[in-house]
Structure 1
Amino acid sequence: MGEALALASALCFGATHFLNGLLARRADSAAVALTGQLGGTALMLALAPLAAAPHITPAALGWGALSGLGTGLGVAFLYRGMSGGRFSVVVPLSDVAAVALPVLIGVALLGDRPTWPAWTGIAAAPPALWLISRSARADASPGAAAPRGRGVVASGACDGLVAGVGFAAQFVALAQADAAAGLWPLAVSRAVSVLALVPPVARRPRAPRMPGRLAWACAGVGALGTVAITLYVLAAREQLMSLAVVLTALYPAIPVLLGVTVLRERLTRAQAAGLACAGAAIALISLA
C-alpha cells in the first residue's frame, strides 16, 4: 500500500511542477508559487478537521512548520528556474538533491543503514548533478561563444539545486511528524510555506499582477500539489522514509518527458548521460 501511495504522489508532483512551470512563464514565478501555496493551504485547512487526530503535539506541529519553510524555499527556486531554464535540467537537479539528502540524514541521524547498492547510488549523484548542469554552446547567450572544450552552467541549474535542498527538508520534516496528529502538521506546513513566499513577492519593484483566470489556475495546481504531499505523508507512515522519498522522487519523469515531447526541448549528450546517471542513482538509493 505504501508503494502505491508514493507512486501516486510522484504522479501528482510531476503534473504539479510541469503545470506550474508553464504558468511561471506567463506570470511572475514568485507570484505563481505564492498563489499555488494559497490554494493548497485552503484545501488542507478544509481536509484537516475531517481526519482523525487523537493526539496533536507541539512537536508534530513544529515538524510541519519546518517542512513548510523547506516547501517555500523549494517551490520559489524551482519555479524561478523553470520560468527561464529547461524543465529537463531544473527538475532532475532538484530531484537528485531531494533524494540524496534525506538518505544521508537518515543514515547520520535516524539510524538508517543503507545497503552497498544504495551507497553506490549516493556516490553516483554528484556526477549526475555535474552532467545535468552542463549546457552546450547553444544554451549560452545569443552571440556569446562558450570557452573551447568547456560547457557553461545550464540556465536554472543553481535554482534547481537550491530547490532540492528545500524539498529535502520538506520530506525529512514531515516524516518525523507524529501520525497521531492527523493532517494538522500538513496544514501548518502549507500555511508556513505561504509565509515563506511572501518576502520574495514583496521585494519585487512592482507588485506582480496576475489575471483572475491565471490566478485560479495557479490555485488549482497548488491544490494538486497538496494532494501530492499528503499522499507522500501517508506513504511515509506505511514504510521507511528513504523508500517513500525515493518512490515519490520519481516525479521528474513526467515533466522531463513532457518537456522533451510537448515543448520540444533538446538535451545534449552530456545531459542525457546525466539523466541516465540520475535515474541509476535513484534506483540504487531505493535499495536503502
Structure 2
Amino acid sequence: MGELLALLSALCFGITHFVNGLVSRRHNGLTVALHAQLGGTALGLSLVLFLNGGAATLADYGWGALSGVGTGVGVAFLYRAMSQGAMSVVVPVSDVGAVALPVLVGVCFLGERPAAPAWVGIAAVLPALWLVSQSSPDPGDRQRRTVSAGVPSALVASVGFGVQFLAMAQVRMDGGLWPVVVSRVVSVAVIAAVLGSYGADRRLTGRSWAATVAAGALGTLAIVLYLEATRQQLMAIATVLAALYPAIPVLLALVLLNEHLNRRQSGGLACAALAVGLIALR
C-alpha cells in the first residue's frame, strides 16, 4: 500500500508542476508559486479541520517548517526555471537532488550505509546533470555548447525538494496533518520573501489564478500522500517512488507541447533515470 501511495504522490506532483509550468510561461514563475502554495495551504487547513489532526510534537512542527522551507525554495525556483527553459529539461534536473540529498544526509549524519549500486547511482548524478543541461549548438558554431536556460534555477529547486522530502519523512507516525499545514504556511512565507527580493508583481487573476490554485491544492494532496507512504514504507522507497514525478510533465511536454531533446539531453535523462533507480537500491 505504501508503494501505491508514493506513486499516487508522484502523479499528483507531476500534474501540479505541469499545470503551473504552463501558467509560468505567461506569468512570473515566482508569482505562480506563491498562489499555488496559497491554494495548497487552504486545502491543508480544510483537511486538518475535517480529519483527525493527530498529536504532533514540537519536533514534528519543526520538521514540517523545515520541509516548508524546502518546498518554498523548490517550487519558486522550479517555476522560475520552467518560465525560462524547456519543461522536459528543467523538471528532471530539479529531481536529481530530491533523491540524492536524502542519501547523502543519511550517510554523513544518520549513519546509513548505501549498497554498492547506490554509490554508482550517486556517481551518475553529476554526468546526468551535465548532459541534460546541454542545449543544441548554434548553427554557425557547432563546437560550442551552452547551458540550457533555466537549469541554474532548477538546480536550486533540486536542493529545495531534497530538503522537502527529507524533512517531511521525519514527522512521526502519529504526528497527524498539522505539520503539513505548517509546511504550507512556511512555504508561502519563503516564496513571498523571494518574490519581494525580485520586486515582482504578486497579482494573478482569471483562469490562470484558478488553475494555479487548483494545482497547488493537488500539490498538498501529493505531500499528504507522501507522508502517509513514509509511515507505511521505508523512507528510501517512498522518496524514490515519489521522486518519479518528472515523468509526468516530461511526457506531457513532449506529447502536448512538441518539445524536443537533443542526443546529449536524451542521454542525460537516461543517466538520471539510472541514477534514481540505483539509489533506490540503497
- Shared fold (TM-score, shorter chain, > 0.5): yes
Moved more, 109-118 or 242-251: 109-118
d(CA) in 2 for partners of 1:179, 1:50: 19
* TM value normalised by structure 1: 0.93
Moved more, 88-97 or 46-55: 46-55
d(CA) in 2 for partners of 1:204, 1:100: 29
Instruction: Quote the offset at 1:103 in angstroms.
Output: 1.3
Partner of 1:212: 206
Q: In structure 2, give the amino acid aligned to 1:164.
A: S
Partner of 1:10: 10
Partner of 2:93: 93
SS across alignment from 2:33: helix
d(CA) in 2 for partners of 1:184, 1:208: 27
Moved more, 199-208 or 29-38: 199-208
Partner of 1:141: none
Partner of 2:126: 126
SS across alignment from 1:112: coil
Instruction: Quote the offset at 1:54 in angstroms.
Output: 4.5
SS across alignment from 2:194: helix
Instruction: Quote the offset at 1:215 in angstroms.
Output: 1.2
Task: Go from structure 1 to structure 2 and tell me whether the alpha carbon gap of 1:184 and 1:205 turns closer, same or farther (over 3 Å shift).
Answer: closer
Tell whether 2:28 aligns with 1:28. yes
Task: Go from structure 1 to structure 2 and tell me whether the alpha carbon gap of 1:120 and 1:37 turns closer, same or farther (over 3 Å shift).
Answer: same
Instruction: Quote the offset at 1:145 in angstroms.
Output: 5.5
d(CA) in 2 for partners of 1:54, 1:269: 50
Instruction: Quote the offset at 1:205 in angstroms.
Output: 4.2
Instruction: Quote the offset at 1:179 in angstroms.
Output: 2.1
Partner of 1:49: 49
Tell whether 2:74 aligns with 1:80. no
Tell whether 2:254 aligns with 1:265. no
Matches within 5 A, 1:74-223: 74-138=74-138, 149-205=143-199, 207-223=201-217
Q: Which of 233, 239, 248 matches 1:245?
A: 239
SS across alignment from 2:174: helix
d(CA) in 2 for partners of 1:126, 1:107: 18
- Contact 1:74-1:163 at 8 Å conserved across structures: yes
Matches within 5 A, 1:219-238: 219-238=213-232
Deviations 1:94-140 (A, max 9, x none): 111111111111222223332111111111111101100111125xx
Instruction: Quote the offset at 1:199 in angstroms.
Output: 1.9
Deviations 1:203-258 (A, max 9, x none): 45463432233212211110000011111111111122121111111111111111
* TM value normalised by structure 2: 0.95
Deviations 1:124-171 (A, max 9, x none): 111101100111125xxxxx965x523100011111110010000011
- Unmatched runs of 5 consecutive residues or more in structure 2: none
- Contact 1:106-1:242 at 8 Å conserved across structures: no
d(CA) in 2 for partners of 1:202, 1:38: 16
SS across alignment from 1:84: coil
Q: In structure 1, give the amino acid aligned to 2:255.
A: T
- Contact 1:51-1:182 at 8 Å conserved across structures: no
SS across alignment from 2:83: helix
Q: In structure 2, give the amino acid aligned to 1:85.
A: G
d(CA) in 2 for partners of 1:206, 1:116: 46
How large is the RMSD of aligned CA atoms in angstroms?
A: 1.5
Q: In structure 1, give the amino acid aligned to 2:164.
A: Q
Tell whether 2:274 aligns with 1:280. yes
SS across alignment from 1:181: coil
SS across alignment from 2:241: helix
- Unmatched runs of 5 consecutive residues or more in structure 1: 139-143
Deviations 1:44-72 (A, max 9, x none): 01111333344321111011001101100
